[in-house]
Amino acid sequence: MQPRIASPNGTPISRFAFGTMQFGGRADDAASAAMFDACRAAGINHFDTAHVYTDGNAETLLGRFAKPQRDDLVIATKAAYQGGSGRQNLLKSFDISRQRLNLDQVDILYLHRFDPMTPLAETYDTLAELKHQGKIRHIGVSNHAAWQVMKSIAVAAQRDLTIDILQPMYNLVKRQAEVELLPMARDQGLLVAPYSPLGGGLLTGKYSRQTKTLSQGRLADDARYQARYGQKWMWDTAENLCLLAAQHDIAPATLAAAWVAAHPQGLSPIISARSPQQLTASLAAVSFDMSPQLYAEITALSPTPAPATDRLEET
């Protein structure tokens, strides 16, 4: 059974989350505020940020927007992307994050990625201290392999802690999480809040093979995203999604985000944007009712990854 994650006043966590990676960066203060308001109007109360986003601007802006309605919201941030998961770095970076957010308590604190150089005992002793002090309500992990999550769960349990939420990458062209992460999360009762449901913009239809080097956006100007989404079959999948979206008279981004949310496991995708206009299509996914037939059609557009045993004949 998934953990009951709710806001401080008991409002259940929303089905979708909004990621603030663009706040204070590609999105200026006004655009960031408008997107926050649009999310709240759509019923989203789960907002995700990180210590490293836009040099701290994202946390600062989110804290400002959230303050008048803080008790209605689930606020998540992430630590230890830089500097490792040792005690000193965790305490220092999280203290800075709380100051930026202007919060005494954060609802979810994620370890932003696995740190192989720091003993897990040191990491979870520190998290246990923060939770005992009432500074965090839930612990999450992001960018972890399934074996890393299970090892962390065991170490956390020795300190009377639970890991309640998992944040992996997951979208129509990045389905590796289906192999071990999602089955593990189901077995362990973790809520899954996947990031990048639009594939860095690839699944929105705004790019084409001919114009991608001239377009604006992460696929055009970020080498990491170009490598991540550079395979031909991924672009074929994106084009086929656009064709299917046109048949249904709906934006490809809406279908891409709704497809993640429609996973039988009840995933909670993190949508994001750099402007209110860009956000519109993703927000439409919040109220989109995807039929099982359409879900199957979209799923068939990309390869289903082999099971962990690699015995395809048994699937």
DSSP state of 107: E
- Judge whether 218 lies within some domain: no
Environment class of 209 (CB within 10 Å of its CB; exposed 0-12, middle 13-18, buried 19+): exposed
Residue 135, domain CATH: 3.20.20.100
Token pair for 295: 């879900």
pLDDT-derived band of residue 214, with 50, 70 and 90 as boundaries?
very low
- Judge whether 53 lies within some domain: yes
Identify the pLDDT of residue 227.
85
pTM of the complete model? 0.94
Range of the structural domain that residue 109 is part of? 17-167
- Judge whether 211 lies within some domain: no
Token pair for 283: 């927000």
Q: What is the pLDDT of residues 266-299, one digit of tens each?
A: 999 999 999 999 999 999 999 999 999 999 999 9
Q: What is the pLDDT of residues 226-264, one digit of tens each?
A: 888 889 999 999 999 999 999 999 999 999 999 999 999
Torsion sign across C-alpha atoms 180, 18, 141, 169: positive
Give, in degrees to the nearest 5, the angle at Cα 254 between 64 and 30. Answer: 25
- Judge whether 11 lies within some domain: no
pLDDT at 91 over 50: yes
Q: What is the pLDDT of residues 11-31, one digit of tens each?
A: 999 999 999 999 999 999 999
pLDDT-derived band of residue 213, with 50, 70 and 90 as boundaries?
very low
- Judge whether 106 lies within some domain: yes
pLDDT at 211 over 60: no
Q: Which SS3 state, helix, strand or coil, does residue 144 take? A: coil
Angle at which helices 232-247 and 252-261 cross, to 10°: 100
Q: What is the pLDDT of residues 152-168, one digit of tens each?
A: 999 999 999 999 999 99
Average the pLDDT over 208-228 and give the result. Answer: 68
pLDDT-derived band of residue 186, with 50, 70 and 90 as boundaries?
very high
- Judge whether 117 lies within some domain: yes
How many domains would you assign to the chain? Answer: 1
Residue located via tokens 């907002």: 47
Give the dihedral of Cα atoms 290, 293, 294, 295; nearest 10 deg: 70
- Judge whether 292 lies within some domain: no
Share of the chain above pLDDT 70, in %: 95
- Judge whether 55 lies within some domain: yes
How many CB atoms within 10 Å of residue 277? 11
